[in-house]
């Protein structure tokens, strides 16, 4: 009898030792708020250092208290990724406008008007997006458009945003007739070069600050104590993590206030990338999987002949890529996140 009681007591100790606690809905809310606040701190550009570090520390402490793993990004933080994308976009826009100048300089007036008519122009809030056939879309701010072309797209001219775009086209034509359009485009290029310089300076400053932010998170996390029995606790509604090698399906990265990127891996070896974060295009390519190694070719039009190789890990609803070799910079930057199954 004593032996039986000993075995029962031993099993009870073992069960309690390995039982995984599930947080209440209220506790889960605290954890999710901490995760959300950390993402805001790592994403939002217009935040003071003091406010950002306070948010980072508070998030780290809450995660540790409720038995959650450290979630500091393994690569660049979202703000770095965003600024790198802005830098590359600005470079592409300068190249597109420089090409525009070359096309305009050596064309007859009729050819210039034909080129202007072939452009697509949209007014989106306080931005004008111009698509010159065969070139990268160019984003122009309301201030730039007003100072260079004398059109106030915020107040409107005669008939709202659609009319604003038409007015800008007419302005282009008038400047082309006066042989002044090239000079105005060069002013736009100067604006973009200054923007490029400022973005690059901000990127350098950010690179210097991120290690300090990471240290603040790590120190706060390591200095906090996990509540008794909360080690490795599951969130309310979660199921234990199961590892998988099936990459098929739709994966997303982003936030409600910024929008999302989506990668869809189909069963026939094709992928679809959708940029809903920047209202970008839908792009396609091909992929193959061997074990946990992924090979990508595409998207079409960018890296359609360039192969990238990655390892990947799927845990529960999360997918993370680790680069082995990929010469395609835009693809590398896009995949450098932890993705969630949609």
Is residue 313 a contact partner of residue 319, using CB atoms and an 8 Å limit?
Answer: yes
54: left (phi over 0), alpha (psi -120 to 50) or beta: alpha
What tokens does 283 get?
């792009």
Please tell me the distance from the alpha carbon of residue 69 to that of residue 338, in angstroms, as a whole number.
14
Please tell me the distance from the alpha carbon of residue 152 to that of residue 167, in angstroms, as a whole number.
10
H or E element that contains 144: helix 142-149
Taking alpha carbons only, the member of 307, 273, 329, 340 closest to residue 84 is: 329
Query: How many CB atoms are located within 10 Å of the residue 261 CB?
Result: 20
Please tell me the distance from the alpha carbon of residue 150 to that of residue 239, in angstroms, as a whole number.
59
Sequence-ordered list of residues with C-beta below 8 angstroms from that of 53, at least 6 positions apart, any chain? 212, 213, 216
The confidence score (pLDDT) of residue 65 equals 93
Is residue 340 a contact partner of residue 251, using CB atoms and an 8 Å limit?
Answer: yes
The full set of domains in the chain, from first to last, is: 81-197 (no CATH), 241-342 (2.40.128.370)
The tens-digit pLDDT sequence of the chain (342 residues) is 444 334 334 334 333 444 568 899 999 999 999 999 999 999 988 899 999 999 999 999 999 999 988 888 888 888 998 899 889 988 888 888 888 888 777 778 888 888 878 877 777 667 777 777 767 778 787 778 777 877 766 544 444 555 677 777 888 888 887 888 888 888 888 888 998 999 999 999 999 999 999 999 999 999 999 999 888 888 887 765 444 568 888 999 888 777 888 999 988 889 998 888 777 778 888 888 888 888 898 887 778 788 888 888 888 888 888 877 888 888 888 888 889 988
Is residue 247 a contact partner of residue 314, using CB atoms and an 8 Å limit?
Answer: yes
| Residues making up the chain, counted from first to last | 342
What tokens does 224 get?
């906090």
Please tell me the distance from the alpha carbon of residue 153 to that of residue 144, in angstroms, as a whole number.
10
Sequence-ordered list of residues with C-beta below 8 angstroms from that of 171, at least 6 positions apart, any chain? 149, 150, 151
H or E element that contains 143: helix 142-149
The confidence score (pLDDT) of residue 162 equals 59
Taking alpha carbons only, the member of 189, 204, 206, 205 closest to residue 91 is: 189
């Amino acid at each position: 009898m004593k032996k039986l009681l000993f075995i029962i007591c031993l099993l009870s100790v073992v069960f309690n030792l390995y039982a995984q606690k599930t947080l209440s809905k209220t506790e889960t809310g605290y954890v999710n708020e901490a995760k959300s606040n950390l993402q805001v701190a790592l994403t939002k550009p217009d935040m003071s250092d003091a406010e950002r570090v306070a948010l980072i520390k508070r998030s780290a402490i809450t995660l540790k208290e409720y038995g959650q793993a450290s979630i500091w990004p393994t690569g660049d933080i979202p703000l770095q990724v965003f600024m790198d994308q802005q830098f590359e976009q600005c470079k592409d826009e300068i190249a597109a406008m420089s090409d525009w100048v070359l096309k305009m300089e050596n064309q007859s007036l009729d050819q210039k008007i034909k080129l202007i008519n072939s452009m697509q122009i949209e007014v989106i809030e306080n931005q004008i997006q111009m698509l010159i056939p065969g070139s990268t879309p160019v984003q122009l701010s309301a201030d730039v458009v007003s100072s260079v072309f004398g059109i106030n797209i915020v107040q409107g001219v005669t008939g709202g945003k659609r009319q604003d775009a038409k007015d800008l086209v007419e302005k282009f034509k008038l400047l082309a007739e006066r042989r002044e359009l090239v000079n105005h485009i060069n002013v736009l290029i100067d604006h973009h070069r200054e923007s490029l310089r400022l973005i690059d300076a901000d990127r350098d400053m950010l690179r210097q600050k991120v290690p300090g932010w990471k240290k603040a998170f790590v120190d706060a996390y390591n200095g906090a104590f996990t509540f008794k029995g909360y080690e490795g606790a599951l969130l309310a509604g979660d199921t234990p993590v199961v590892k998988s090698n099936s990459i098929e399906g739709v994966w997303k990265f982003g936030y409600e206030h910024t929008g999302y990127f989506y990668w869809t891996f189909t069963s026939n070896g094709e992928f679809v990338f959708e940029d809903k974060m920047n209202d970008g295009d839908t792009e396609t390519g091909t992929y193959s999987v061997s074990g946990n190694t992924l090979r990508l070719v595409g998207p079409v039009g960018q890296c359609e002949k360039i192969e990238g190789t990655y390892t990947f890990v799927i845990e529960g609803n999360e997918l993370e890529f680790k680069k082995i070799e990929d010469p395609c910079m835009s693809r590398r930057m896009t995949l450098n996140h932890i993705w969630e199954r949609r």
